[in-house]
Structure 1
Amino acid sequence: MATDIKAPTFPESVAEGTVATWHKKVGDSVERDELIVEIETDKVVLEVVAPEAGTLSKINVEEGDVCQSEQVLGELGAAGEGDKGGDAKADDAKRSDAKSDDAKSGDAKADKKPADKKSAGAGKQHEVKAPSFPESVQEGTVASWTKKVGEAVKRDEVLAEIETDKVVLEVVAPADGALAEIKVQEGEQVESEALLAVFSEGAEGDAGADAPAEASSSDDDGEADAKVDGKILAPAARKLAAENDLDVSKLEGTGKGGRVLKEDVQKAIDNGSAKKSAAPKADKSAAAPKAASAVEGERPEQRVPMSRLRQTIAKRLVQAQQTAAMLTTYNEVDMSAVMALRSQYKDTFQKAHDVKLGFMGFFVKAATEALKRFPDVNASIDGTDIVYHGYQDIGVAVSTPRGLVVPVLRDTDSMKLADVEKAIGDFGSRGRDGKLGIEDMQGGTFTITNGGIFGSLMSTPILNPPQTAILGMHKIQERPMAVNGKVEIRPMMYLAVSYDHRMIDGKDAVQFLVAIKSLLEDPARLLLDI
């Protein structure tokens, strides 16, 4: 009995959607809760999963067609029903021919496998596509392929990384198996949901979907051959070539049809005829190693394309300076009280909250309190409008191998000091691993950047549009200060607030910075709210 595949119930503000992608074709087997089709609305992309295991028997709404809430999109038949009803629009003769072609295609694929099937799904082909990019991301660059053609891969293991101008997105394996073909090489640009590669389900050797049928008659434990760099390799030969990092295109095959055997690879290893030519490797963060060019000699140079993140950083910084009336005001803060408090309670704090007590938590809490007192500093400019925010979302600049990113702490007014320290530590570790998502960096009403960790004594931070102010922290350095008529050595830090003079008057910017200074020099004010 057929089961209806229905569109989900759309949100109240969404009238209709468009069928963006069918991930299964008529006749494909489907597991329960497996993604079948995606529906794109004007706000979100909705996923439709299989209500039960079976076979997709009919598609009612094609890709690109408009659908309504809870409309029947297709039908799911019992497992093994195949293409029943799938070609309802064609006449009987065409349907018969199509089924015949499908059968021949299935037989050809079956010939590439051992007679004793390893599993029911072995050798099934999957299209590996780029993920759906967020609305603000137009395209990405394939930064790296972590797996080679023919290399064994486990389900959900990372196959490739795509670098966008904001985050690095991972593409994972849809099942256990191997890459059969890579469509988009490292350094090439891709759009959302573009086809990246063809993946073959099953054992490592099953990746050879492009190998001729007769190549399956190997004695390599029943595994199929694979086509790599235009050469047909037996599984044992492919494994040996990978272990010795050989250039497959230089291997000479003596087997049937030019098939490269294990002894061919061993011969190439012995005479050194298939070694890869030495070439300077471009940094993967450049995301385009093929486009890198090097100039050798006594004064060597290397030219690599600027990463997407670096391009975006450059564009935004220039935009901030060109569009904002940016000024900077400075002050200095005596860190004695904060350092004494931290020294007294750091061990107890770490035992209680399982996180170290740093300085950034004090600055975030002090900035939050100051933002509440000076709402203009917490506002943003949208065209000719001023947007006043009734909350404090503070971005914290984090340095990563790919560049500077600014993840955002949400509702810092309700966060405890330990919550702030834990969140910042999490941002730092995920930033270094390239695991920060776009949702982590969207929004923000104010930003704090700390150049002091790199030794900066004083700097002028640049605004993070559309925000209207940013606080710069710097190195703590002992200096002689006049205290109650006496000269004392105190740990001092220069603070800088850059602000957009279109929105914030100089008086408010100065008083805002003085408020932060007062809260830090007497941390009890944070508890007493004075």
Structure 2
Amino acid sequence: MATEIKAPTFPESVAEGSVAAWHKKAGDSVERDELIVEIETDKVVLEVLAPEAGTLTEVLAEEGETVESEQVLGRIGEGKAKKTEAKADKKDDATAEKQDDVKAEKPAAGGGKQHEVKAPTFPESIQEGTVASWNKQVGEAVTRDEVLAEIETDKVVLEVVAPTDGTLSEIRAEAGSQVESEAVLAIFTEGAGGGADTSADEAPAASADDGASDEKVGDKILAPAARKLVAEHDLDVGAIQGTGKGGRILKEDVLKAVKDGSAMKASKPAAPSAKAAAAAPAVEGERPEKRVPMSRLRQTIAKRLVQAQQTAAMLTTYNEVDMSAVMDLRGQYKDAFLKTHDVKLGFMGFFVKAASEALKRFPDVNASIDGTDIVYHGYQDIGVAVSTDRGLVVPVLRDTDSMKIADVEKGIVDFGKRARDGKLGIDEMQGGTFTITNGGTFGSLMSTPIINPPQTAILGMHKIQDRPMAVNGKVEIRPMMYLAVSYDHRMIDGKDAVRFLVTIKELLEDPSRLLLDI
């Protein structure tokens, strides 16, 4: 009886895919769980495995064709694969027997039980991740809960830690490779750390060869990740002090040398090794270029920004606010505030509270669009844009209407620190009803912020600048800030957007309104 080969069940956000490549032709023998065909969607490439062993009798969807979720792609019939299967079983038995012998020897040599180091379980909204970096190399001794590797997804960086004390025996997913949820990344040997260190002391030459792809430059031994960084930054290997086994130079050693500038080459550079030269970016003439892959986070940011501009009827209204009252209040109480709450009194706390009050008065600005439905939120969850080396992230402060200014400031400081360290959770960056972004921290005088879908508005703060203003018929120098609200005209009328921004202006120019709720 023929067995149907079906396309995978696509996520809700993926409507269809296309047949990227068939790895088998009609008439070919296949084994159970062998890769047969790949389906490419707008987000990921999905692999389709053989549900049974047999012969591929029919291909129903050719390469390039568009297919839907669970569509039949082909059929497998019984036949030629049986003989192959029998051979494979014999081979598997022999291999298993051989592996058992190896495993029996390993505890005697290395001294410990082996564990599979797996990728974390990704949330439903994340299909796969990229191995960003390995913090440990093969043969290195590590302690329990020490970070082995980092997995970069399109939203956060996830850490993979050591399950116990021991040694990293094998890396199966190199830096830069794509991995799925719970994929095996490496093999870890328990309790072998001490033995590895001892053998390194007794036979330094042997420890230098632990990493199959280590390279020796002069009297220095470079780990693969370190070698790549040395080539990228054109460093003098002889000036880098290695902290790995047998004096091996690790990635951390190179990063330290880059930071303090201790390994920069003189005007006449030393000749690099052949491998290092090949890894360095090609430079022609006096117009060098460097090509690097876009990170997953940057790809997601780009996609969402373009999506917002293509789907929303986006307009921006501007106003300016006199920051004198807020600055006077801050100057008067900042020392007492720091002493009482153990956090500095900034400007963002005032803006978050003013925005929370304005959102209550104008529920359309606090709403979101879901297809043809409008969702009105009876709470205020405000996202605060935080800039990191990897890109812009927007963690969300929950129920800001009930938060005190001290709570807001503590939350923002915590978000900023964890965002830069890549420690933010996915749940902390989802579900906001409104967003505030502060380009003024970088000196921006005026800008047009882009809406964060499915929200319908975003507030942009800018640089505070002393400007001459007419006050009661006199010219006075006042600290002024331009404010911008970008809004989705499908949902919000122009008059409501303007009144919303004016409300924020009035609350900031007279902060007592926030206390008196007027």
**TM-score clears 0.5:** yes
Shift of 1:103: 7.1
In structure 2, distance between residues paired with 1:407 and 1:502? 26
In structure 2, distance between residues paired with 1:295 and 1:378? 51
Query: Could you tell me which residue of structure 2 aligns to residue 362 of structure 1?
Result: 350
SS in 2 for 1:466: coil
1:382 pairs, out of 350, 370, 388, with 370
2:492 pairs, out of 490, 493, 504, with 504
Kept in 2: contact 1:159–1:172 (CA 8 A) = yes
1:514 pairs, out of 473, 487, 502, with 502
Kept in 2: contact 1:123–1:207 (CA 8 A) = no
Shift of 1:244: 3.4
- Give the alignment's TM-score, normalised by structure 1: 0.67
Q: Give the letter aligned to residue 474 of structure 2.
A: K
In structure 2, distance between residues paired with 1:207 and 1:438? 38
Shift of 1:201: 1.1
2:441 pairs, out of 433, 453, 471, with 453
Shift of 1:111: 3.9
Query: Could you tell me which residue of structure 1 aligns to residue 288 of structure 2?
Result: 300
Query: Could you tell me which residue of structure 2 aligns to residue 147 of structure 1?
Result: 136
Instruction: State how 1:467-482 maps to structure 2 within 5 Å.
Output: 467-482=455-470
Query: Could you tell me which residue of structure 1 aligns to residue 109 of structure 2?
Result: 112
Q: Give the letter aligned to residue 112 of structure 1.
A: A
2:382 pairs, out of 394, 397, 421, with 394
In structure 2, distance between residues paired with 1:456 and 1:140? 34
Query: Could you tell me which residue of structure 2 aligns to residue 133 of structure 1?
Result: 122
In structure 2, distance between residues paired with 1:396 and 1:415? 15
In structure 1, distance between residues paired with 2:272 and 2:444? 51
Deviations 1:241-291 (A, max 9, x none): 99933479xxxxxxxxxxxxx99x9xxxxxx999685459xxxxxxxxx8x
Structure 1 pair 169–194 and aligned structure 2 pair: CA distance change class (3 A):
same
Deviations 1:278-309 (A, max 9, x none): 459xxxxxxxxx8x844343111000011110
Shift of 1:436: 1.0
Q: Mean alpha-carbon deviation: is it higher for 136-145 or for 315-324?
A: 136-145
In structure 2, distance between residues paired with 1:411 and 1:242? 60
Shift of 1:220: 3.0
Q: Does 1:430 align with 2:418?
A: yes
In structure 2, distance between residues paired with 1:496 and 1:462? 11
In structure 2, distance between residues paired with 1:219 and 1:180? 18
1:244 pairs, out of 206, 220, 223, with 220
Shift of 1:439: 1.3
Kept in 2: contact 1:337–1:520 (CA 8 A) = yes
Q: Give the letter aligned to residue 314 of structure 2.
A: M
Kept in 1: contact 2:137–2:223 (CA 8 A) = no
Count of residue pairs brought into register by the alignment:
385
2:190 pairs, out of 190, 201, 211, with 201
Structure 1 pair 402–242 and aligned structure 2 pair: CA distance change class (3 A):
farther
Identity, % of aligned positions: 76
Q: Does 1:161 align with 2:134?
A: no
In structure 2, distance between residues paired with 1:439 and 1:110? 42
Q: Give the letter aligned to residue 245 of structure 1.
A: I
Deviations 1:396-451 (A, max 9, x none): 00000100000000000110000000000001111111111111101100000000
Query: Could you tell me which residue of structure 1 aligns to residue 304 of structure 2?
Result: 316
In structure 2, distance between residues paired with 1:137 and 1:415? 31
Kept in 1: contact 2:138–2:211 (CA 8 A) = no
Shift of 1:205: 6.6
SS in 1 for 2:221: coil
Query: Could you tell me which residue of structure 2 aligns to residue 228 of structure 1?
Result: 210
Shift of 1:200: 1.0
Shift of 1:188: 1.1
Instruction: State how 1:18-29 maps to structure 2 within 5 Å.
Output: none
Deviations 1:30-80 (A, max 9, x none): xxxxxxxxxxxxxxxxxxxxxxxxxxxxxxxxxx9xxxxxxxxxxxxxxxx
Q: Does 1:191 align with 2:191?
A: no
Shift of 1:184: 1.1
Kept in 2: contact 1:150–1:178 (CA 8 A) = yes
In structure 2, distance between residues paired with 1:463 and 1:217? 58
Shift of 1:226: 9.2
Shift of 1:345: 0.3
In structure 2, distance between residues paired with 1:393 and 1:326? 21
Q: Give the letter aligned to residue 307 of structure 2.
A: Q
In structure 1, distance between residues paired with 2:493 and 2:108? 77
Kept in 2: contact 1:180–1:198 (CA 8 A) = yes
Query: Could you tell me which residue of structure 2 aligns to residue 70 of structure 1?
Result: none
Shift of 1:104: 4.4
In structure 1, distance between residues paired with 2:181 and 2:332? 52
Structure 1 pair 243–317 and aligned structure 2 pair: CA distance change class (3 A):
farther
SS in 2 for 1:107: helix
Unaligned runs of 5+ in 2: 1-50, 52-93, 225-244, 249-269
Structure 1 pair 145–423 and aligned structure 2 pair: CA distance change class (3 A):
same
Aligned-pair Cα RMSD in Å: 3.5
Structure 1 pair 243–171 and aligned structure 2 pair: CA distance change class (3 A):
farther
Deviations 1:336-392 (A, max 9, x none): 000000000000000000000000000000000000000000000000000000000
In structure 2, distance between residues paired with 1:503 and 1:444? 17
- Give the alignment's TM-score, normalised by structure 2: 0.68
In structure 1, distance between residues paired with 2:184 and 2:455? 38
SS in 1 for 2:202: coil
Structure 1 pair 241–129 and aligned structure 2 pair: CA distance change class (3 A):
farther
Shift of 1:230: 4.0
In structure 1, distance between residues paired with 2:461 and 2:201? 67
